Amino acid sequence: MTAVRSTSPSPDAQPPTVHPGAIEVGERLGPHFRDCYACGDRPESGLHLEVRRAEGVAIEAEFTVTDDHQGAPGLAHGGLLAAAFDDALGYVLWIIGEPAVTGRLEIDYLRPVPVGTTLHLTARCTGVLGRKIWAEGEGRLGAPDGQVAVKAAALFIKVGTEHFEQHGRGLEELSEDLVRRYNP
């Protein structure tokens, strides 16, 4: 099997559609799993992403970089920023109602992200074809209209909920909202 090497949608990809059960624009999306380092509310040093639905198949999110998130002294760790985008981009899956896993994630680091900075993330679905879902986003420093510090793109692969049963601890620890959305 040839590995997928692109996070840009295939030319024959279709525009994404909003799932009929998706939350309204402006509403907050809770964590998919309370112990998730990026969006969960339990990991003390986690990112605690605050995520809201935006117009279309998109989200807006933010988190503040703390001392626990450092790579170089005073700066956010690049892998931590990648984790934030993996989750933020993955939240668009909630809007289209498709369980999927990350197949490929690309990050472009454009500016340093200092400790104490609130990073404002946007993510949007850019196409769907068969089991493939493409998404892209960016992170801005200090405000939704601040300087772009990070850009990201991902390819997600649709999976059934049995994937989580087989390879993880099952669905019982996922958020009730997420399970309901994927198992109508």
- Tens digits of per-residue pLDDT, 100-144? 999 999 999 999 999 999 999 999 999 999 999 999 999 999 999
Q: What is the pLDDT of residues 24-40, one digit of tens each?
A: 999 999 887 788 888 88
Percentage above 90 pLDDT, the chain: 67
Query: pLDDT category, 6, cuts 50, 70, 90?
Result: confident
pLDDT of residue 80: 95
HEC per residue, 84-126: HHHHHHHCHHHHHCCCEEEEEEEEEECCCCECCCEEEEEEEEE
List the structure tokens of 25. 């624009």
pLDDT of residue 33: 78
The average pLDDT across 69-76 equals 96
pLDDT of residue 184: 43
pLDDT of residue 35: 83
**Closest residue by Cα to residue 133 from 39, 9, 6, 36:** 9
List domains and CATH numbers for the chain: 28-182 (3.10.129.10)
Look-up: residue for tokens 């998919």?
32
Mean pLDDT of the chain: 88
List the structure tokens of 4. 């997928």
Beta strands in the chain, from DSSP E residues, in sequence order: 28-29, 50-54, 58-64, 100-109, 118-129, 132-141, 148-158
